[in-house]
Amino acid sequence: MYPWLEVHWSFFLQRLQQDRLAHALMIEGPAGIGKNALASAMVAKLLCSGDEPRACGQCRSCKLLEGGAHPDRFEIYPEEDSKMIKVDQVRRLISSLDLTTSISERKLAYIHPADSMNKNAANALLKSLEEPVGNAVLILVSSDPASLPVTIRSRCQSIVINQPDSKQASGWLQETTGKPAADVNAALQAAGGSPLRAASYLESSELDAFAKVTAGLVTLLSRPGAVSMVSSTLADIDPDDLWRWLSICAGEAAKSMMTGIASSYLPAEADLPLKPLLSLQKQADVNRRLSATPLRGDLLLQDWLIRWAEQSI
């Protein structure tokens, strides 16, 4: 259990021990903070036949779960050929939940990411949330709960996980990876504060790519005419990562201008107008979504970089 999840685990155990656990739980929070790890631990505990604070790992139920063959545990997520959870998947889940349990006291449905359900799938699930089978527990995981229908959210007990503060995240990363503080802090910056994503960056070449982004942005502030060169330098970076990093950088610059706290990558003398920075951050988020469409990504990038270069130090 990640240390920043302990408080949520304690809440879950308390509700379970008091027999006040809702039949549907919604675990919410940004990506890279361990939502699925918490959900998996809850599933294991609810299926376990032992009475320890966590799943014992030794009973028949735990052994079956470990082997992926537990008959009372059901999981749905987008199929390989789709980014959505479809209505037929939810209907099969509902049919399975209507059956009696085989081994455990409960049936467990694990749905992730819940916000990938299409409209028909969400509507199909709603009936199970309104009229739950007595021994079934549904655990939904979402990084974007606002995109789910209000009718779904209102019928789930919400468990909201926030990113750990930088001190806790940095300490955990240094302890678990053995990396120096400078590398850890750079990884956390690139990950937007998400410790698990930062951990993956520390084991890959992603930090080098992020360094290209920050270096390119600094270059454009002093050399606005270098847009084509910087655009070419960034062309090989995965578009999803690139636009997320540009959003992070614009947001950090805006925060620095508002608070007076030095940015981790801007020159100390940087004095940029706040409103355009906020607009650039918003546009980077929009472009991140557009990067999955047929639109020309190179043109989107050049346009964004031109707007960035219009700022000055």
pLDDT tens-digit readout, 139-164: 999 999 999 999 999 999 999 999 99
Give the start-to-end residue ranges of the domains of the chain. Answer: 3-160, 205-309
Mean pLDDT of 299-310: 96
Q: Is the pLDDT of residue 9 over 80?
A: yes
CB 188 within 8 A of CB 170: yes
Give the mean pLDDT of the chain: 93
Q: Which residues contact 183 (CB under 8 A, 6 or more apart)?
A: 202, 207
| CA atoms of 46 and 166, how far apart (whole Å) | 32
The per-residue pLDDT for range 192-246, each reduced to its tens digit, is 899 999 999 999 888 999 999 999 999 999 999 999 999 999 999 999 999 999 9
205-309 maps to which CATH number? 1.20.272
The per-residue pLDDT for range 72-116, each reduced to its tens digit, is 999 999 988 788 999 999 999 999 988 877 889 899 999 999 999
Alpha carbon distance, N-terminus to C-terminus of the chain: 45
| CA atoms of 136 and 142, how far apart (whole Å) | 20
Of the listed ranges 97-101, 254-258, 289-293, the least confidently predicted one is 97-101
Q: What is the pTM of this model?
A: 0.84
CATH superfamily membership of 3-160: P-loop containing nucleotide triphosphate hydrolases (3.40.50.300)
